[in-house]
Structure 1
Amino acid sequence: MAWKTLDDMDLAGKRVLTRVDINVPVENGKVTDATRIERIAPTVEHILSQGGIPVLIAHFGRPKGKVVLDMSLRIVLPALEAALGHKVGFVETLEGAENLTGEARAAEVLLLENIRFYPGEEANDPEFAARLAGLGDIYCNDAFSAAHRAHASTAGVAEHLPSCAGRLMQAELQALEAALGAPERPVVAVVGGAKVSTKLDLLGNLVDKVDHLVIGGGMANTFLAAQGLNVGASLCEHDMADTARQIMVKAGAAGCEILLPADVVVAREFAAGAENEVVPAHACPEDAMILDAGPQSVARVAAVLAKAKTLIWNGPLGAFEIAPFDTATNAAAQEAARLSREAGLISVAGGGDTVAALNQAGAAEDFTYISTAGGAFLEWMEGKTLPGVAALGG
C-alpha cells in the first residue's frame, strides 16, 4: 500500500485535521439517515484513544464558495454527537479555528463550518490549502466519497502535512483492491442501469479485468439491439449500437464472457403490478417494453456466481423500483449474499441505485463491502486515479 493508515502515525498531543463526509439527508431540520456520520466514528475514536484531537472538515450541499445558511453543518451536530458519544465544538470560521475560544478548546472533537463556503476549497487554491493545513499537525482523509475531487481539503492539504487514510477510507481502499487490484479469480462484474453511454469507461475497464460481465437493466437492451434483436418499445440507446459491438469485441479479445439476458420480462406499461409475460430475448413484441431479466437469465447469473471467487456489483438488473420488475435483481442479489455468507465469495458493491436495490432485496448485510461513495466508487472502477487517494501517497 502506497498510503499510510492511522496506525502509522504518532497522534499523541497532535491536532489531526480529518476530512470526513457527513453530507447526510436532512428533513425539517433533522438528519433522516445518519449512516455516513456513523461510519466516521471508528476514525474519531482511534484518534481520541491515541491522545489526538480530531478537527473535522466536511462539506454540506453545494454552496459554491458562498455562505448559505441553509447549508450550515450546525444542523448535523446533534446526530454527530450522538454517533460519536463525545461533545463536539462547532467552529464557524477559519479565523475562529485559528484563534480557538476556551469553550472550543474544552471540546473533545472540533467541527469546522461547511468547507465549501470558501471559494478556495473547490478551486484547490494553494494559499487556502496552506492556511487549512495550519490548523493541524497531521492530515487524515476519511472521505473516500469525496476522493475523486481535487479540492483543498481532499488533496491540497496533504502537500503540507504528514498524511494518512482514516478507517473508512482504509476499508474502502482495501475492499476495492481486493475486488479489482489483485482479486481472487474467477471475477464476476454485474453492471446494470439505464444507459450504456454513462458507463462506457466502466465497461471498457472491466472487460480487461474480469472473467464474466453480466449486463442488465436498460443497458442490456442496447446490447441486445446491437446484436440485431428487436427490443420493441424498450428503453434503448440505438445510437450506441456500434459502441456496444466494440465492447463485445474487446471482451472477446480479453477472454471476458459477456452475459446478456436470454429471456426477458415484458409489459405494455411501466406500473406496479402491470400485466407482464416472460419471452425469449429475441421475441420482444413490437408494442412491449423489456423491464426485467427472466428466470432463465437469473439461473445463468446464479451459475456464474457459484463458480466465482470475487464479485463487483454496480446497478440493478431491471426496473427494480416497481414490483414485479424487481424479481431478477432481488433473486441475483440474494444468491450473491448467500454465497458471500456461506461460500466465502468476496462481494463488493457500490453506487446509489445499487445500495438501494441491495437493501430492498435484503442482501446488503451479507455483502463483503458496500460502498456509499457514488462517483468515487465508479471512477475507481473505471480505472481512474482519484486525487484524494493519490495525495495520500506523497
Structure 2
Amino acid sequence: MSDMKQRKIAIFTGNRAEYGLQYPIIKAVDNHPDLDYMLIVSGAHLDDNFGRTLNEIKDDGFHVDAEVNIEMDADSLYATAQAIGTGTLSISQVLDEERPDLMVVYADRFEGFAAVIAASQMNIPVAHIEGGDLTEGGALDDSVRHAMSKLSHLHFTTNKEASNRILGMGEEAWRVHTVGFPAIDMISEGLYATEIEVTEQLKLDLQRPFVLFTQHSVTTEFDQVGEQIVSSLEAMKMLAKEGIQVILTYPNNDAGGQVIIDNLELLSGECLRNIQLHRSLGRYLYHGVLALAKNKDINVACVGNSSSGIKETPVFGCPTVNIGSRQQGRLRGGNVIDVNYCADEIADAVKKCFNDIKFRNICSSTDNPYYLGGAGVKIADILANVKIDQKLLRKRMTLLGEVRDGWFR
C-alpha cells in the first residue's frame, strides 16, 4: 500500500494465554506504517476471578479500544453456548460502530468463535491465526477451530501440517500462509522475566527443583473434571512433601473451570509448604519461569494440560509432563512425557524430568516444530497488502477430489 490511508485492523483477544501469543502480531501491526490496530478485549481479561489481565495489556503499552463483557459461568456447559450468542451480539455492535477493514482472531476459543461469526456476517474479512492445529483429546477446541477456519478469509498457520489440513478443508491455496508460531518470536527476543525477577517475585530457591502447573478442564469430559484435578493435585502434594516447589496457576474460564479453581483454593487453604497459587503469572513472568530451564543447574518442569507445555517449552529446553487427553494429536517436540490422571504416574514423570540425565539432554536439544521466525511481521505485511475485494470475501471450495465430471475417492 502507498499513498493510501492506514487500514484499520481489529484484533480480538479473550483470555490471558491467547493475548500472550498475539503480542508479536499486535506489535507488528502497530509498527507497520500502513496499518492501525483497534484492540477488542473480552472474556477472562475483564474478570477479576481470572486476574483481570486487561491490566497486563495496558501495561504493555497497547491502547484498548473496546471492552466487551461476555458473561460466563465456568461451571456450566450451557453458559458456553450462551456466551457465544451474547458475545456475537456485543462484538457485532462494536464492529458496526468501528467498521474495521479486517479482523484478526486467534485459535479456538469460544469468545473468538463469537468474534468470527460477527465479522464474517458483516462482510468484514477475517484473518484466523493458528487454524489447522489438532487437539483430538476430547475438548471442543478442534470443532471450534475448524469452524472458525471455514468462516475466515485468510489463514496464518504455525506449521505445514496445519496448512495441509486447511487445504484439505477445501480452502484456496492463496489464502493459506505458513508463518510459524508468533509467541516464539517474542521469546527469541528475550521478552521475559530474568532469573532475578523470577526468584524475587516467586520466592523460589533455585537450588531445589520446581514445577509450573496449569490444568484446564476438558469440555467433553465435563463430568470428570473434579476427579481429574484431585488426582493431579494429589501428585503436587506428594512432590511438595519431598521438597519440590510447586507453582499453581488458575485454569481458563471454560466450562468446568470453577471446579478446578475450587480445588486449587482448597489446596492453597491448607497452607502447605512449597506450594503457591496464582490467578495469573502473566506472559512475562510465565515465560521467565520456563526460561530457567536453559540453566542446566536448575531443575524446572511444566506440568498439566496447557498447550503452552507443548508449544512454548521446546524453545527453552524445558521438560513437560502432559496430563490426560486435552493435547492429544498436537504436534510436539521430544521434551514431552504423556501421562494419565494418576497421582503416582504424574509424580514419577516429574521426577524423571529432574533425575533422568538422558531425557534432560533430549529436552535441551529438542527441535521446536513451530518455529519459523518473524511470524508477526509476516502477518502484518500480508494484512497490509492483501487486496480487499469480492475475491477475498467470496469463498470457493477447492477440494482435491473434485473433478469436472464428478467425484473420485
TM-score surpassing 0.5? no
Q: Which structure has the larger Rg?
A: 1
TM-score (norm 1): 0.31
